Structure 1
Amino acid sequence: MVKTLIFQCFHLIKIRKYSTELLKFVPKCSEVSEADVQLLRKFIDDSRKILVLTGAGISTESGIPDYRSEEVGLYARTNHKPIQYQEFLKYSHIRQRYWARNFVGWGIFSKRQPNAIHFSIRNLECDLGKVSAVVTQNVDNLHFKAGSQNVIELHGSAYRVICLKCKSIYNRHYIQEELKKTNLHMCEESTMVRPDGDVDIPQDAIQGFKPPVCPSCSGILKPDIIFFGDNVPKERVQEVRNTVTKSDSLLVLGTSLSVFSSYRIILQAVEEKKNICVVNIGRTRADDIIDLKISVRCGDIVPKVC
């Protein structure tokens, strides 16, 4: 009996320690109030079809940092600069550097799991039939892992790799196995995690790294994500626009809307007089043009409503 109680206590301590570790990238925020819960519940109850727009602020609760949060965001903690699209295209050493760091970071990044927010959105879509589509700025695949069906990945997915020459698509896990074969000297273990799967590694390790090439045509391989300086494909933009028009409400979760690709969704919804609710810690680009803003942690409120 005593041994059982000791084991249970030890297990609870491990769970609490793990949860604290995952939440270390969540910025400080106010506690959710019952009034906040009722506001969000009424918004959802009054909506027939909701377009859910998500950002890095929901993945921080799965242990993946965002870029811009005060104190805990990637920009606040490091001098890290995301890969630029044109640099990736032009320079082989930039591609070598990117793939070497991504190879090492892939293990911990790909093991991240959906949290209560992702599952709540899935319930709202699949069980309640309230969601027209989930538009996510995240490339971490967590909505699909949670079971959501109609997901538009605005900035692509780190789980797909595309050949820039023949346009063949490959599974990122397959590319990882191929990289292991050609880079036997590389250690693929890391405790670091970033929004794009990138990590810091020594320069000498980068210099000896062999980037992947397309198995079909030997062309340049690139993760199927929108790098900084690149544009969201026009057909994807149009798909989002059509979904906004077909929806009567827009629920924004965990994004400051700093990038225009997401902010223009708000502008369209305002122009079409849709109901809009934003749940986010801190200010967003849309605060002055929307009627309902709830400044709390998404994980504290969304599961209570969905």
Structure 2
Amino acid sequence: MAVIFDPLRGRQRPAASHPDEEIIDVLAGRYCDADWAVLTGAGMSTDSGVPDYRGPDSPPRNPMTIQTFLSHPDQRARYWARSWVGWPRMRGSRPNPGHLALAELSVAGIVTQNVDGLHQAAAEAVAASRAERGDERPLSPVIDLHGSLDRVICLDNGHQLDRDWLQRRLSELNPDFVHATGIDPIDVETAPDGDVELEDTAGFVVADCPECGGMLKPDVVYFGESVPPERLQKANGICESAAGIVVLGSSLAVLSGLRFVRTAAKEGKPVVIVTDGPTRGDELADFRSISRVADFVSAWASR
């Protein structure tokens, strides 16, 4: 498997630029809430039990690249075996207070690099709560920049499938796999992209597209792939309409997220970064917090 270069290597966590109270004063006062675009990363979901790639306590990880996935059937079997074991825990993740607080805020939009679907789950919970209270305020739009693990696509003909269907199909094709490996799915740790560390995936049977027999892939942007143009256009629209950008829990290690921060800074828009580790955009930040994301967003939403 290819080793992913870590662009944060050698970077140190900066000090906070201002107390959180002052940063939140800027978010809630200097500009109205609706003027802010929000970019979220893996640090947004750590309090939901979803680990991140580059947090202070994260072990080294080598995520699957698109080149590796396409290179050989054994590599695809390796991915799907690991994903099959990890999916129940990923699917069982629930929005944390940070997701719920962010869903309550009226912002220009939320562009997430995460593929866990927790922003959408939080929006559903907030919408239900508002409906009970007769609150008709609209929710802020959410763009899954890197796709979502609950969807599967056929690379041959573009058919879209539900991930739960594929989970059942893989279970039918591999009834003895867990027993053969000696693992307990309850005890394994999932990665941010939903798979787990498994040494031996030999013999795992991969499902083909039920419509055409084509190759199936999770509907996520692998390392080495580009964000689909239509999705990128929507994300750009949110950021272009905003007066500033707030980065929550992202190291900005990949260009797909960093580009929004660079554009905002180039245009003279304020940049707020909230995460407890270093980022590639620290030198561009006008306001920098090193607090836990859920704590910061909850305080912001309480204003």
**Which residue pairs with 2:49 in the alignment?**
63
Tell me how far 1:90 sits from its aligned partner. 2.2
Deviates more, 1:37-46 or 1:257-266: 37-46
Question: Could you give the per-residue CA deviations for residues 227-266 of structure 1, whole angstroms, max 9, x where no partner exists?
Answer: 1111112222222222211111211101111111100000
Correspondence 1:113 to 2:94: yes
**Which residue pairs with 1:178 in the alignment?**
169
Counterpart CA distance in 1 for 2:122 and 2:224 is 30
1:176 partner SS:
helix
Question: CA contact under 8 A between 2:107 and 2:140: conserved in structure 1?
Answer: no
State how 1:1-306 maps to structure 2 within 5 Å. 35-48=19-32, 49-70=35-56, 72-75=57-60, 80-124=61-105, 130-147=106-123, 150-187=141-178, 189-191=185-187, 192-203=189-200, 206-306=201-301
Tell me how far 1:202 sits from its aligned partner. 4.8
Instruction: Give the number of the structure with larger relative contact order, counting CA–CA contacts within 8 Å between residues 6 or more apart.
Output: 2
Unaligned runs of 5+ in 2: 1-12, 124-138, 179-183
Question: CA contact under 8 A between 1:104 and 1:190: conserved in structure 2?
Answer: no
Counterpart CA distance in 2 for 1:182 and 1:62 is 31
Identity %: 38
Question: Structure 1 255/107 Cα, relative in aligned 2: closer, same or farther at 3 Å?
Answer: same
- One-letter amino acid of the structure 2 residue matched with residue 167 of structure 1: G
Deviates more, 1:148-157 or 1:211-220: 148-157
Question: CA contact under 8 A between 1:74 and 1:194: conserved in structure 2?
Answer: no
Question: Could you give the per-residue CA deviations for residues 2-58 of structure 1, whole angstroms, max 9, x where no partner exists?
Answer: xxxxxxxxxxxxxxxxxxxxxxxxxxx99x9x9412321332333232111000111
**Which residue pairs with 1:22 in the alignment?**
none
Deviates more, 1:184-193 or 1:91-100: 184-193
Counterpart CA distance in 2 for 1:161 and 1:46 is 42
Counterpart CA distance in 1 for 2:169 and 2:25 is 48
Question: CA contact under 8 A between 1:65 and 1:74: conserved in structure 2?
Answer: no
Counterpart CA distance in 2 for 1:64 and 1:227 is 18
- One-letter amino acid of the structure 2 residue matched with residue 184 of structure 1: P
Tell me how far 1:179 sits from its aligned partner. 1.2
TM-score, normalization by structure 1? 0.81
- One-letter amino acid of the structure 2 residue matched with residue 69 of structure 1: G
Counterpart CA distance in 2 for 1:274 and 1:116 is 28
Counterpart CA distance in 1 for 2:228 and 2:37 is 20
Tell me how far 1:207 sits from its aligned partner. 1.9
Question: Structure 1 74/109 Cα, relative in aligned 2: closer, same or farther at 3 Å?
Answer: farther
Counterpart CA distance in 1 for 2:203 and 2:274 is 45
- One-letter amino acid of the structure 2 residue matched with residue 196 of structure 1: D
RMSD of aligned Cα (Å): 2.2
TM-score, normalization by structure 2? 0.82
